[in-house]
A = this chain, B = another copy of it.
Amino acid sequence: MEKPYVVGVDVGGQTTKIGIVNRRGDIVIQTVINSLYNPDEAGKFMDAVCDTVRALAKDIGMDQIQGVGIGAPNANYYTGNIEDAANIAWAKGKSIPLGKTLSENLGVPVTVTNDANAAAVGEMTYGAARGMKDFIMITLGTGVGSGIVINGQLVYGHDGFAGELGHTCVVRHNGRPCGCGKTGCLETYCSAVGVARTAREWLNMSSEPSILRTSTEITSKDVYDAAKLGDKMAIEIFNFTGRILGQSFADFVAFSAPEAIVLFGGLARSWEFLEKPIRESMEANLLNYWKGKIALIHSSLRESDAAILGGSALAW
């Protein structure tokens, strides 16, 4: 018999969000725990997650929990493992059996996938993509992630690692070095980190006046704040970022002909500056029969909830 609750978990580099969600998509209780453990402490982290789930479920009862769904960096749906997550000390260069360990410890089914896939499932279950069978979720955060839905199903591919659109190439020659070892990857230009990198490059290359010159360690938030104040360079940085995203989106459309591209994540908060250049450059690069037909949507989920909802949606 189906049970009334699921647990959604979002494993991040710094913190891990855990919540219990009902069938309507309400988070009935949630908390945040620390993700920062030493390289040899993956077990300790997983114990902490299990203890937290049990504590949250104390009033509801673990026997009312249908399952646990987890979004985590470099997590593989088929194996349930986190595979070599560069930004997590206890998962770097290792294979961490997250699904198996939690399932044994908690005694409920555990489903694992990468964070962008979890976001796509969340968006399809509770958000802007409800009812859509073909869409692409793009998460603009520290990196650029993607979750691809085709015919109502997440695309996992042959090995469970499909949807690494942040590592498609946007600059073929002299592109920026990427953490993945390649150069010119989309995420080196269009993530939060990429936007800050553009700002630093442009400030070095020109002597154009900009509010950004007053920042010492520029972040994408600084660029957003400057753009809000009308700073010309900051606005042009978002135009540049949006143009690259739009060019890439046109190529993604040529692959799976989605109904929509849905954007989510920290950088997508700068939607007011990104929307226009993304849309214009996507339209300019689409094949004729797609022009004007692909929706570009900013996620309708609250960012603080979306990660938990995404994980939880996997568990139904």
Q: A residues bordering B, Cβ < 8 Å?
A: 83-84, 133-134, 148, 150-151, 153, 155-165, 167-172, 180-182, 247, 250-252, 254-259, 285, 287-290, 293
Cβ-defined partner of A256 (8 Å) among B157, B250, B251: B157
Q: A289 contacts B169, CB within 8 Å?
A: no
Q: A182 contacts B287, CB within 8 Å?
A: yes
Report Cα–Cα, A168/B172, bound state, in Å.
14
Residues of B within 8 A of A290 (CB): 159, 161
Q: A158 contacts B287, CB within 8 Å?
A: no
Residue in B closest to A171 when the chains form the complex, CB atoms? B172
Report Cα–Cα, A118/B290, bound state, in Å.
22
Report Cα–Cα, A160/B158, bound state, in Å.
23
Known contacts A161-B290, A293-B159, A169 near B255 by CB under 8 Å: no
Cβ-defined partner of A255 (8 Å) among B153, B159, B252, B289: B252
A142 to chain B, nearest CB (A): 17
Report Cα–Cα, A158/B260, bound state, in Å.
9
Report Cα–Cα, A282/B111, bound state, in Å.
32
Report Cα–Cα, A134/B158, bound state, in Å.
6
A-B contact pairs, 10 of them (CB 8 A): A83-B289, A155-B255, A161-B290, A163-B255, A168-B255, A169-B251, A171-B172, A172-B172, A180-B287, A182-B285
Known contacts A155-B150, A288-B181, A165 near B247 by CB under 8 Å: no
Report Cα–Cα, A256/B154, bound state, in Å.
10
Q: A157 contacts B285, CB within 8 Å?
A: no
Residue in B closest to A156 when the chains form the complex, CB atoms? B257
Q: B134 contacts A257, CB within 8 Å?
A: no
A182 to chain B, nearest CB (A): 7
A173 to chain B, nearest CB (A): 10
Report Cα–Cα, A128/B180, bound state, in Å.
32
A113 to chain B, nearest CB (A): 13
Residues of B within 8 A of A169 (CB): 247, 250-251, 285
